[in-house]
Amino acid sequence: MIFRLIATLAIAFSFAGTAPQIVRADAGEILGGAVVGGVIGYAIGKDQQRKQQARTTTRSSRAYRPGIPSTSQGAQTQTALNYFGYNAGRVDGQVGRGTRTAIERYQASMGYPVNGYDFQPYQRDFLMQAYYWGTSGGQASTQLSGQPLLMAYRQQVHTGSALAAAPQVQATPTPVVTAPAPAPAPAPAPEATATETTSASLPSLFSGGTGGPSLANRCSGVMLQTSTNGGYTTLSNMSDPDFALSEQFCLARSYAMSRGEDLMQGIQGLTPDQVAAQCDSFGDMLAPQVVSLSLSSKNEAETQMRKLALDSGLSPEDLAATSKVCLAIGYREDNMDAAVGSALMLVAMGEPAYGELIGHHLREGFGVQERRDLAMQWYDASLSALDAGSQAVFLPSQTDRPQLLRAAMVQTQ
């Protein structure tokens, strides 16, 4: 799809020189200048024709493996496997014999059932969580690489200390200790670590948009438990509905990140750092809307976001494209303002299935105050939209997923 926007290429090329001002600009200046919400959507659309023209050449260049489709998920998996030393070979998105052998090496080292043709979602999710952690500061802080880095990540998640890298990333290395008065500060530390493996208040590896607990660490812990359980919760074996919802939250998060990574491949004229800077600004702009989620009904929050979008003068397509990219970057960097704000924008732009994410955030209190009563409004609206024929955006091939979500919701009320 080609997005239309009343903006010139000069905006994109001048972004690097104006980034500091963009970050400090208010919402009107950002949206009015078509910097946030415009350049990313424009750049994605601009690349579609180029990709269409390149497909014939791409197919012919991969003729040596004509029977194997190339997918972005395959490329991401190969990248992560190579990062941890499992040698999947060339990153081409084609999951062939070499990639499956690398998957089996990974499965064996993690203690999973070894079958490269049966790469379970929880196994891939944990691999990708570890990859995001390693490339976002984990490798720099541990000074490890390859499989030892993956094992270090697994151990840190298991013990609830997945924040060894935090002092390297955050300006204030020990916020929990400095907040209380000097005398009692050391005492609470052992208590906090005792509950970190099962609590949503795991320490934060990244400096998220709201400065709250780390969703990245929470999902790493959930994936580890899923691995211990032998797979995801299903309707037939659900015994802990709260954990089932947490699994689906983290699964939807991973799916949103994967979708955003696909869209990022189509951004031309902006570097990854420039895209990330725009998404930081996008999150800053939407922060008041995110705060209101815990204070307003679903209808009120959605109405406020629609007004903001209309006042921008930008097309829904450009805002939606930017929101999908910034949703992925927000989750990748644990920036909850960018992630939650983008999900809310997508709902306002006519994609109600993304409301499930807002329900999860309100239920667990990531990026917003915990409001389980309001969470149910978002869950109900999202599932009702799916029942009415709205397009599923998270694992659309799993047709029983809405039933699982609904059953878990009922049991947690």
Instruction: Write the pLDDT tens digit of every residue in 43-86.
Output: 665 555 454 555 444 444 444 455 678 887 888 899 999 999 99
pLDDT at 290: 96
pLDDT tier, 175 (very low <50, low <70, confident <90, very high otherwise)? very low
More confident residue, 123 or 54: 123
Question: Residue 184 pLDDT > 50, yes or no?
Answer: no
Q: Is the pTM of this model over 0.75?
A: no
Structure tokens at 288: 């008041």
E strand residue ranges, 197-339: none
More confident residue, 286 or 170: 286
Euclidean distance between CA atoms 74 and 87, whole angstroms: 14
What are the distances in angstroms from CA 75 to CA 85, 185, 200, 262, 371? 15, 46, 31, 10, 38
Q: How many residues does the chain have?
A: 413
What are the distances in angstroms from CA 152 to CA 8, 163, 165, 365? 47, 11, 11, 28
At position 221, the amino acid (one-letter code) is G
Instruction: Write the pLDDT tens digit of every residue in 339-379.
Output: 999 999 999 999 999 999 999 999 999 999 999 999 999 99
